[in-house]
Amino acid sequence: MGVVNITPDSFSDGGLYNSEKLYLERVKELISYKCDVIDIGAESTAPMNSPISFDEELGRIDNIVLPHLDLLDKFSEVSIDTYQVETIRFLLEKTNFSKIYSKGKLIWNDISGQADFACLELLKDFPNLRYVYSHNEVELRSQSVDHLSFTKESYSKEYYDQYFAAFCGEKIIQDPCFGFSKTRDQNYELLSFLPDLVNKSESEWLVGISRKSFLRFLEAENKNLILQTEVSQALLLQNFISNLNFEKEKTIYLRIHEGAVFVSLDKYFSYLLPRN
């Protein structure tokens, strides 16, 4: 799953793809890396930013993404990263967006963790829509940007088991949501038991540690933030993959920013899978 943020203020790539020209270059780049899924975000949920309105979010999508829907058909699936129900409903009801996933399904990547009635209603109304259920402790969708204010002192593997068991099904993709409502140590702990959590689950999973700020503390000697987080990510994802049980077919989405990480993991899969 390749990331393209059409935002001016995202933590990892704000301002890099927030024009029509830059967006098109990024999409073609992801296609060149043989990316299966594209994840489009029009609002930054970094805690230093303020939330934006539905009109502003949709305006970015309308000006940059919608004029080039045909290009998105190059991907097997398209994901929209938003916590606003109105944005997903508008795209499905008022635009030609639903026509772009002729080869797959549209994914609503909702980092709010609010699997409410409005969410269930959308899933019922649109058979080709799937939903990413994220572990986030915010109490309201509107608080999604302020997610680091909603942390708990401790988590356990059993806690995550219970959390995800509350909302599952064939249209659901589970996301432990690294970085959201978690301290640095909790992110590391979650990484350690993630393979076991995924192995025993029947669900599909989304794993997104790409450019997360907690990764930079693993390689303190490197002063280049982007480089050190991407090196750490590649190694951690390789370790994650090596601890998966491949006896049963399972879909796992790896949400990635950097093309070099795509290439390294592709080579690692080629190396690992024939041995299993």
Express each pLDDT in 232-262 by its tens digit: 899 899 999 989 987 878 899 999 999 889 8
- pLDDT band of residue 85 (cuts 50, 70, 90) is very high
What is the count of structural domains for the chain?
Answer: 1
pLDDT at 36: 92
Express each pLDDT in 143-170 by its tens digit: 998 999 999 988 888 999 888 888 888 8
3-state DSSP of 204-257: EEEECCCCCHHHHHHCCCCCCHHHHHHHHHHHHHHHHHHCCCCCCCCCEEECEC
- pLDDT band of residue 222 (cuts 50, 70, 90) is low
Greater pLDDT, 11 or 174? 174
CB neighbours of residue 20 within 10 Å: 14
pLDDT at 206: 97
**Contact assessment for residue 144 and residue 111, using Cβ atoms and an 8 Å cutoff:** yes
Environment class of 270 (CB within 10 Å of its CB; exposed 0-12, middle 13-18, buried 19+)? exposed
**Is it the case that residue 224 has pLDDT exceeding 80?**
no
**Is it the case that residue 102 has pLDDT exceeding 80?**
no
**Is it the case that residue 223 has pLDDT exceeding 60?**
no
pLDDT at 273: 65
Express each pLDDT in 33-59 by its tens digit: 989 999 999 988 776 667 788 899 999
Query: Which long-range contacts does 222-227 make (Cβ < 8 Å, 24+ apart)?
Result: 226/12, 226/258
CA of 199: how far to CAs of 61, 131, 255, in Å? 36, 20, 19
**Is it the case that residue 107 has pLDDT exceeding 80?**
yes
CATH number at residue 75: 3.20.20.20
Residue range of the domain that includes 182: 2-275
**Is it the case that residue 94 has pLDDT exceeding 90?**
no
**Mean per-residue pLDDT over the chain, rounded:** 87
β-pair type (129-134, 2-5) = unpaired
